[in-house]
Structure 1
Amino acid sequence: MSVFLLRRFATFLLTLVAASAIVFVVLDMLPGSAAEVVLGETATPEAVAALEARLGLDRPPAERYAEWVGGLLHGRTADSIAYDTPTAELIAERLRVSLPLAALAMALTVVVALAAGVYAAARRGRAGDVGVMIATQLGLAVPGFWLAMLLILLFAVQLQWVGAGGFPGWSEDEGGGLLEGLKALLLPALALAAVQAAILARVTRSAVLDTMGEDYVRTARAKGLSRAQTLRRHVLRNAAIPVLTVAGLQFANLVTGTIVVENVFVLPGLGRLVFQAVANRDLVVVRDVVLLLAALVVVVNFVVDVLYALVDPRLRHA
């Protein structure tokens, strides 16, 4: 198992290096000047040259890349052009909203999808199975932003159970608290979880059905185990690998794909920061955020690989 994890960790590091190189090339080395993009077409050559000097764009690309990566390794980041604040502070502030939002949406996704997928697989071809499949098809068909607006109309405008948007903060000093913060994230999490739960429920159903057709499952049933006991002891663990794969990709997608929903609910999260940075042509923020999101995807995939080794004994023995 240690060799397996070392290989995955080496892949993890190489992927991070490749991602940083791609981000740097796309944002810093493409034809044209980032300073011209920031200042616009009407900027004078003197203003462009001054901003290039401030951003370090007048230096060789290799030197700029080494300085950027070295700064990140030492916990230093460049200052945002629009906010004149280190990007690390901006990102850390927005992650206080985006990570709990993604975690809450993922928790809702896993609970609903596993329950629905196992329920449908245990009742294959019956009314319960058909109902779950219809519900998942509707979940796949409904756009997240449209569902978000429907949730606001129902729960915020009509029932007035929660606010229509904004985030009060996690502490009482900020004007909110833990309960208030969770209430503000509940509707966005539901909007994000709807599509993901539909996908994961279908994957869970297929994985459970495939596993239930194996010889060892039939042997367990022949020995007298009930259907529920067979599901718990033999089916669920062996069906977990495809479910883990999709769930890991979904969590990474939830972290990186919250731009639209965060803007609908006016949440000060990472997605809204990216949207504002693009609108302000703040390429420094865009560069660091894109690398962070790429790193989060790689980290999630590495964690999924570790879970593979814990779930599947064959990987440990190999």
Structure 2
Amino acid sequence: MKYLARRLLLFVVALFAISVVIFLALRVLPGDIATIMAGLNSPPERVEALRAQMGLDRPLIVQYGGWIAGLVHGDFGTAMLTGQPVAALVGTRAAITFPLIILGLIIALAIGIPTGCAAVLARSPRARAVYQGAAIVGGAVPALWGGLILILLFARGSGLIPVLPASGFPQAGWADPGRALASLVLPALTVGVIVGASMMRYTRSALQSVASTGTIEMAMACGMTRTQTLTRVGLRLAMPQLVSVIGLTFAEMITGVMVIENLFALPGIGSGLVDDLGHRDLIAVQSELFMLAAFFLVIGLLVDIAHRALDPRLGD
């Protein structure tokens, strides 16, 4: 309970610090935001009215207090460009981004963990070199280039095997689950292959660390084969490290899929944030950045708690 209370306190402090950084960072950007949003040729009266509407004519401490008070009550503000509540806007985008990330992570785990185990089990130096080379090449592939290759191979209209949509998301969204899922397959494969290469390296490294402790030899002395020992005992002992990696990778993929969303024209969180930044929608951007930062911190907190539960030997 002491550990959990301390972690929750640190979480609140970090959240407060991040909110201050986001609030101040957006207000030191060059140019007058009200002038940019109203239009460079707008009359001064229009600019002043917009500045008052956005609360930019108030002291910074008052602006920050009003924003935080709204966040505490679940009011993330209203986007100036669309007039929609920011929370609803992010929710609509998250319905695309999170399924994409989950599908990509599943593909990455399906690639990374088995190949990481196979790399450790390989006895031939040549086979180990092949696995190592595959991990390096897979992790070095730029997301944009990998996505374009998959489009040329499998996209309808331009691919050698035209079976999947190349871009966009259905207007009906998840009300048409077949088309919605099909539109995420190519982006998820792009993410999954790149992240899977990293998962392979982490899995191999974690298993090698376990093997160096002599645990594998002790388990083999009990009658297990080397393969059984690594897959049953080794993976279980390496699980705390892998849980940390998987959790943090999941959080990083929120912004990591930004390029993929733009490439495949998916209206997700990453591409939406880029659009809002380009249009200088201050209200939407500051709340979106805060929600992303809060998500990163929540994932970090859950990973720490899971790590502690899986390995009770960790000290306070």
Whether the aligned pair in 2 keeps the contact of 1:237 and 1:311 (CA below 8 Å) is no
Cα distance in 2 between the residues matched to 1:93 and 1:195: 26
The corresponding residue for 1:95 is 94
Cα separation, partners in 2 of 1:90 and 1:116, compared to 1, 3 Å: same
Deviations 1:186-242 (A, max 9, x none): 110111122211112111101101110113332222233221332244311222233
The corresponding residue for 1:15 is 14
Whether the aligned pair in 2 keeps the contact of 1:29 and 1:61 (CA below 8 Å) is no
Cα separation, partners in 2 of 1:124 and 1:60, compared to 1, 3 Å: farther
1:213 is aligned with what amino acid?
S
The corresponding residue for 2:114 is 115
Deviations 1:163-194 (A, max 9, x none): 1111124444xxx22x3221111110111122
Whether the aligned pair in 2 keeps the contact of 1:105 and 1:193 (CA below 8 Å) is yes
Cα distance in 1 between the residues matched to 2:191 and 2:203: 19
The corresponding residue for 1:64 is 63
The corresponding residue for 1:163 is 165
Cα distance in 2 between the residues matched to 1:241 and 1:298: 19
Whether the aligned pair in 1 keeps the contact of 2:138 and 2:194 (CA below 8 Å) is yes
Cα distance in 2 between the residues matched to 1:133 and 1:283: 45
CA shift, 1:137, in A, is 1.4
* Count of residue pairs the alignment pairs up: 312
TM-score by structure 2 length? 0.91
TM-score by structure 1 length? 0.91
1:1-318 equivalence runs, <5 A: 2-28=1-27, 33-39=32-38, 41-123=40-122, 125-156=124-155, 157=158, 158-168=160-170, 169-172=172-175, 176-177=176-177, 179-315=178-314
1:136 is aligned with what amino acid?
A
CA shift, 1:42, in A, is 4.4
Cα distance in 2 between the residues matched to 1:103 and 1:124: 34
1:166 is aligned with what amino acid?
G
Whether the aligned pair in 2 keeps the contact of 1:119 and 1:128 (CA below 8 Å) is no
Whether the aligned pair in 2 keeps the contact of 1:105 and 1:192 (CA below 8 Å) is yes
Q: Report the 3-state secondary structure (helix = DSSP H, G, I; strand = E; otherwise coil) of the residue aligned with 1:167.
A: coil
Whether the aligned pair in 1 keeps the contact of 2:117 and 2:231 (CA below 8 Å) is no
State which drifts further: 218-227 or 50-59: 218-227
Cα distance in 2 between the residues matched to 1:35 and 1:100: 36
Whether the aligned pair in 2 keeps the contact of 1:211 and 1:238 (CA below 8 Å) is yes
Cα separation, partners in 2 of 1:293 and 1:125, compared to 1, 3 Å: farther
State which drifts further: 141-150 or 212-221: 212-221
Whether the aligned pair in 2 keeps the contact of 1:19 and 1:291 (CA below 8 Å) is yes
Cα distance in 1 between the residues matched to 2:18 and 2:260: 26
Percent identity reads 35
2:230 is aligned with what amino acid?
L
Cα distance in 2 between the residues matched to 1:49 and 1:124: 73
Cα separation, partners in 2 of 1:80 and 1:124, compared to 1, 3 Å: farther
1:153 is aligned with what amino acid?
L
CA shift, 1:294, in A, is 0.9
CA shift, 1:131, in A, is 2.1
Cα separation, partners in 2 of 1:286 and 1:125, compared to 1, 3 Å: farther
RMSD, aligned α-carbons? 2.0
